Structure formats: C-alpha cells, structure tokens
Amino acid sequence: MDAISVIRIKRDRGELTPEQIDWVIDAYTRGEVADEQMSALAMAILLNGMNRAEIARWTAAMIASGERMDFSSLSRPTADKHSTGGVGDKITLPLAPLVAACGAAVPQLSGRGLGHTGGTLDKLESIPGWRALLSNDEMLDVLDTTGAVICAAGDGLAPADKKLYALRDVTGTVEAIPLIASSIMSKKIAEGTGSLVLDVKVGSGAFMKTVEDARELASTMVGLGTDHGVKTVALLTDMATPLGLTAGNALEVRESVEVLAGGGPADVVELTLALAREMLDAAGIKDADPAKALADGSAMDVWRRMIAAQGGDPDAALPVAREQHVVTAPRSGVLTRLDAYGIGVAAWRLGAGRARKEDPVQAGAGIELHAKPGDTVAAGAPLLTLHTDTPEKFDYALKSLDGAYDIAPAGTAYEATPVVLERIA
C-alpha cells in the first residue's frame, strides 16, 4: 500500500478498507507516512467524512498502535471524563479531585491546547513544579494514594493519536468528527477506565457549532465506548459563552481553586457538579454527595495531595503576566452576548495557546471577564482585562474582540441558555 492511494480514495469520497486503515495508522506511527501526507488525509476526512465502520476501525487501529493500561488492582471503581474543548473550560481541575473525594478513582489523561481552546496540561503546568509526564507506575501510584491523577498520556498509549493530535492542531483539521471521536476514544479505551463521561461542547467556542453536530459526535463516541465495554454517557453543554470568568492557563487554575474552596462562578460550579454526579453514577457510587464534598473541603484536600504527588506546590504563587490592557464597556446597558470564540482567539493571540505544535505557551496570558451575559454594565466600566508578557500582541488580540459582545439598552430582558443541553447514553 502507499499513502497517496489512500489519500486519493478519501479525497474522492470513497470508503477505506480495514486493511488500508490499519496500514496507514501503523505506517504513520512508524514514520513511513510523512506529516504532510497525513495532513492531506486528515483534510480529506474533514471534508468527506467516514462511516461508522471506518470510524470503528480507525479507533481500533489507534488503540492497537500502543499498550493498554489496567487498573484492576485498585480498590475503587474508575471513572473518567473528557471534554471536547472550549473556552474557559477548566472543569477537569476541580472535577477530578471532587469525584475522588466521593469514592471513585479518576485516571484523567488530558491534553494540551488545540487552536483557540485551552489545554488542561498547559493550565496545570503553570503551577510551579507540577509534572504532566508520569510513567505508568507513577500514574498508578498517584491514583492509588490520592484517588485522582491528571497527566499526559504516556508514549506507549495510542502513540498514533499523539502524533495525529498535534498535527490536527496546526493543519485546520481539529473539527473533523471522525478524528475527534477516534482521538478521544482510542486514548480513553486504551487507558482502561471502567466508565467515561463525555462533555461535548456546543456553540461558537466549541468545535461543534450546532446541537446536531454535537449530538452526532456524542452518539458516535458513546457507541465506540459501549462497544469496547466502557460504560459511556455524554452531556451536551453550552459553549456559546466562555465558562467562568477566566480564559488562560494560570488564570483558570486560580479560578478552579476558588471552586474547590466553595466559591467560584455559578456556571463552573453547576457543570462540575453535573459531571461529578454522572461520573459517580456510572461508577456505581450512589450515596455520595459531590456538593457536600465541595462545601466541607474534602475535594480541596484531594486537590492539594494530587498536585503535591506530581511535584507541584499547591501553596506557590501562580504566574502573573507582566502587562495588562483593560477593555471598557462602550455604553451602559445589559450585556446580552459574549462570544466564546472571540474570547478564545484573543486569549490564544495573547500567548495562552500555540500556533505551531512546538510553540511554548505563556502561563500568565489570557483574559479576565468582568461581566457575563445578563449582567448590567456601565459605560467606561471594565468589561475585559487582557493579560500577556508580550504587549505587542494586544492590538492583534483586540481585533478578535471586534463584534464579540453585544450591549442592549438597560432593562432589556435576557434569557440565559442552560449549561447542560442534553444527555446521551
């Protein structure tokens, strides 16, 4: 077989055979298929799609490219969560220790930023000393001693996905449903978790812009998980507006700690609790109350142990960007729209994300929101604060905020969109 023939089949809207899929994944993992060839194939998949049989085989080939983990030695049932990515989506940070505090083990394999969406590992690496890269033995030890671990997938776990994940970020192919589904599920199935809750984002700041597309992705992933013996459920959640009041790495860690301390923005708390309840139910834990674990400090205790177990200092000061720029409200009234995509792109341009897979990110870069849709704002009052170490980026970031918010006359009625839109099981 050869890469060009495989590319042409999908370019011409054909169906790849199981043998072709197995070969191209294996050859790409070994370096026989070049990045530019896999980029062309990924774009053809984005444009022309894959059927259910192709997606299932692609996922199986990704799993077969590496090892599979085993958590059967743990005394707790395992439950994991995955988000398809959004703006201000720091939910994993308070969620993993919260679910662990309620009796489940949470082996959370997370990723880095993709495009305008933030990455959990990028956020946690803003904590001095914290390590994302753990060996399998280290991961199991942290999981066993603290109940939760958040780390990068090891080199042996779905290595094909690790290469393709980084490539998609810089080739405009992140949004391909077959590639999203197979990327997520290959890692989660190979990871060995007993149950999985999917947070599928919908709206301008998500890769799935419509409920229909999000429902298709969620259903595909639930089917893949179920077929591999992993109890899987999905929530469709709103991403038209950023989650919480921050978008950026250290900024989001700070907000997550506020949630674990019993405070934080209402939407972040609501979604954290909704996902926690789904994870605990999927793991068969029926009598735990995650709201109580937030209120009594037990989730915070797990967070501190988890961060320390991975080399981090939970008491250390978080990085702060050297420069700030305040965007003020141009007029008084009711903020009726704050576009998640515009905020996400601005944060990315400020240095919170990466343009190339090898780029570093700025720990302190990002955006603070001083109001959310439904809030009353006054002319001249702070609306957003932009943070970066490189002030020459401000003008570029501000361009993405043109038209990113609407302010209606005072007294305008505003109806909030629910945080959780649908449940698919």
pLDDT of residue 311: 98
| Position 207 confidence tier, pLDDT thresholds 50, 70, 90 | confident
Whole-number CA gyration radius for the chain: 21
Q: How many CB atoms lie within 10 A of CB 229?
A: 9
Among 87-101, 153-167, 315-329, where is mean pLDDT lowest?
153-167
Higher pLDDT, 154 or 322: 322
pLDDT of residue 214: 95
* Phi, then psi, of 379 in degrees rounded to 5: -55, 130
Mean pLDDT score, 276-290: 97
DSSP strand pairing (106-110 vs 80-83): unpaired
Of 347, 47, 16, nearest to 176 (Cα)? 47
The fraction of the chain above a pLDDT of 90, given in percent, is 86
Indicate if the pLDDT at residue 127 is higher than 70: yes
- List, in order of start, the domains of the chain with CATH numbers: 3-49 (1.20.970.10), 80-309 (3.40.1030.10), 323-408 (3.90.1170.30)
82 is a catalytic site residue: yes
Widest distance between CA atoms in the chain: 66
**Of the listed 10, 57, 82, 201, which one is catalytic?**
82
Which residue has tokens 């707790």? 76
Exposure of 72 by Cβ count < 10 A (0-12 exposed, 13-18 middle, 19+ buried)?
exposed
Share the mean pLDDT of the chain. 95
pLDDT of residue 357: 65
Tens-digit pLDDT profile for residues 368-397: 999 999 999 999 999 999 999 999 999 999
| pTM given for the model | 0.90
Coil vs helix vs strand at 410: coil
183 is a catalytic site residue: yes
Among 76-85, 270-279, 354-363, 382-391, where is mean pLDDT lowest?
354-363
| Position 175 confidence tier, pLDDT thresholds 50, 70, 90 | confident
Dihedral over alpha carbons 187, 362, 256, 309 (to 10 degrees):
60
Q: How many CB atoms lie within 10 A of CB 368?
A: 19
Among 81-95, 113-127, 134-148, 313-327, where is mean pLDDT lowest?
113-127
Tens-digit pLDDT profile for residues 5-58: 999 999 999 999 999 999 999 999 999 999 999 999 999 999 999 998 999 999
| Position 156 confidence tier, pLDDT thresholds 50, 70, 90 | confident
**Of the listed 83, 183, 186, 195, which one is catalytic?**
183
161 is a catalytic site residue: yes
Sign of the CA dihedral 324, 328, 334, 336? negative
Name the β-bridge partners of 81.
197
Mean pLDDT score, 297-302: 98
**Of the listed 57, 168, 231, 304, which one is catalytic?**
168
339 is a catalytic site residue: no
**Of the listed 90, 112, 123, 187, which one is catalytic?**
187
Name the β-bridge partners of 80.
196
**Of the listed 89, 161, 169, 267, which one is catalytic?**
161
131 is a catalytic site residue: no
Determine the Cα–Cα distance for residues 406 and 246; give it in Å rounded to an integer.
19
The DSSP result for 346-396, as a single string, is HHIIIIIS-SSTT----SS-EEEES--TT-EE-TTSEEEEEEES-GGGHHH
Mean pLDDT score, 59-63: 95
Determine the Cα–Cα distance for residues 246 and 242; give it in Å rounded to an integer.
8
